[in-house]
């Protein structure tokens, strides 16, 4: 299937040919599989960690399949996949405590099933903004993201709210770039470039493909280790975080992938308790 960046370049003339492109299909697939409604609510900002920009201007997109079994609207059953993407511009900020300001321009494409009418490329006349501190951590509340809509209609406002739902996979992709992960550079052959240019007027964009790998700690668990008795710890609260489960060691014996674990308590209250009244600011101690 044609990548979203190539669709946008064919229809929007302002996209530079040398714009770095990051494809995050595996990240978006795992975000969509998280329990709950990840399209209308995002995990809190602190769980993403460092999301500092890899370039001053770049593109992130993802293609995910549509599970038609969970689609109630008949018109939506005409589509088998959705492509979501954002062009990202980075503005250096001079405000106190801020370092960067992300400016997102969103795009979406619904891939129709065979024989069904297509909807074409969709976007909105507006922008999404996000502020980062000097360590590349998010300063804003992701439940109240700043947006600017230049065409003030009810339809445009509704579209912008739906496009804000792209942020979890975009931010997780940026977070993955700062972790141990595999990034593959995808380049097209000259024959593929010529064929694509004949059909669409422009050669296809090379891109960086992100893959999501389990933590190396999980791989080390297969190595035999002497059994050590666990020390009893005082009761304490653990902040929400992502965790990865492998096919060999799935969650509850059946789920592999990325899981969002909300805030929860650990430890034994009989051993005492620890009350954490601090806030996370990303600064080094």
Could you state, in order of their start, the residue ranges of all structural domains in the chain?
4-211, 216-273
- Is the pTM for the entire model greater than 0.95? no
> Which residues pair with residue 85 across a beta bridge?
61, 107
Mean pLDDT of 29-50: 75
Res. 58: pLDDT tops 90:
yes
Size of the chain in residues = 285
- For residue range 188-199, what is the model confidence (pLDDT) as tens digits? 788 887 887 787
> Which residues pair with residue 125 across a beta bridge?
none
Confidence of residue 223 (pLDDT cuts 50, 70, 90): very low
Confidence of residue 285 (pLDDT cuts 50, 70, 90): very low
Q: Which of 124-128, 228-232, 273-277 tops mean pLDDT?
A: 124-128
Confidence of residue 104 (pLDDT cuts 50, 70, 90): very high
Indicate if the alpha-carbon torsion angle 160, 156, 55, 27 is positive or negative: positive
Res. 61: pLDDT tops 90:
yes
Residue 41 to residue 137: CA distance in whole angstroms:
19
Q: Pairing between strand 79-92 and 234-238?
A: unpaired
State the average pLDDT for the chain.
Answer: 75
- For residue range 119-134, what is the model confidence (pLDDT) as tens digits? 678 888 889 999 999 8
160 DSSP assignment: H
> Which residues pair with residue 236 across a beta bridge?
266
- For residue range 238-264, what is the model confidence (pLDDT) as tens digits? 766 666 666 666 665 555 666 666 676
Mean pLDDT of 54-62: 93
More confident residue, 90 or 284: 90
Residue 244 to residue 258: CA distance in whole angstroms:
5
Contact 182, 69 (CB under 8 A): no
Terminal alpha carbon distance of the chain: 48
More confident residue, 36 or 112: 112
Mean pLDDT of 217-232: 43
């Amino acid at each position: 299937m044609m990548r979203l960046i190539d669709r946008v370049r064919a229809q929007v003339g302002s996209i530079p040919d040398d714009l770095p492109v990051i494809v995050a299909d595996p990240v978006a697939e795992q975000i969509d599989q998280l329990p709950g409604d990840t399209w209308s609510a995002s995990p809190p900002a602190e769980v993403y960690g460092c999301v500092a920009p890899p370039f001053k201007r770049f593109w992130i997109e993802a293609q995910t399949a549509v599970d038609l079994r969970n689609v109630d609207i008949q018109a939506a059953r005409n589509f088998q996949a959705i492509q979501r993407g954002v062009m990202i511009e980075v503005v250096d900020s001079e405000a106190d405590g801020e370092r960067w300001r992300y400016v997102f321009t969103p795009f979406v494409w619904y891939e129709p099933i065979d024989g069904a009418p297509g909807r074409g490329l969709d976007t909105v006349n507006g922008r999404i903004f996000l502020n980062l501190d000097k360590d590349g951590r998010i300063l804003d509340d992701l439940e109240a993201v700043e947006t600017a809509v230049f065409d003030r209609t009810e339809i445009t406002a509704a579209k912008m709210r739906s496009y804000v739902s792209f942020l979890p996979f975009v931010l997780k992709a940026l977070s993955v770039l700062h972790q141990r992960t595999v990034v593959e550079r995808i380049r097209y052959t000259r024959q593929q470039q010529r064929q694509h240019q004949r059909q669409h007027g422009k050669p296809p964009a090379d891109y960086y493909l992100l893959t999501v790998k389990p933590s190396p700690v999980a791989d080390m668990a297969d190595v035999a280790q002497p059994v050590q008795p666990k020390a009893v710890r005082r009761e304490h609260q653990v902040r929400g975080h992502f965790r990865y489960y492998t096919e060999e060691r799935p969650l509850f014996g059946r789920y592999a992938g990325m899981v969002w674990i909300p805030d929860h308590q650990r430890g034994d209250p009989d051993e005492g308790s620890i009350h954490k009244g601090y806030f996370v600011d990303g600064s080094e101690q």
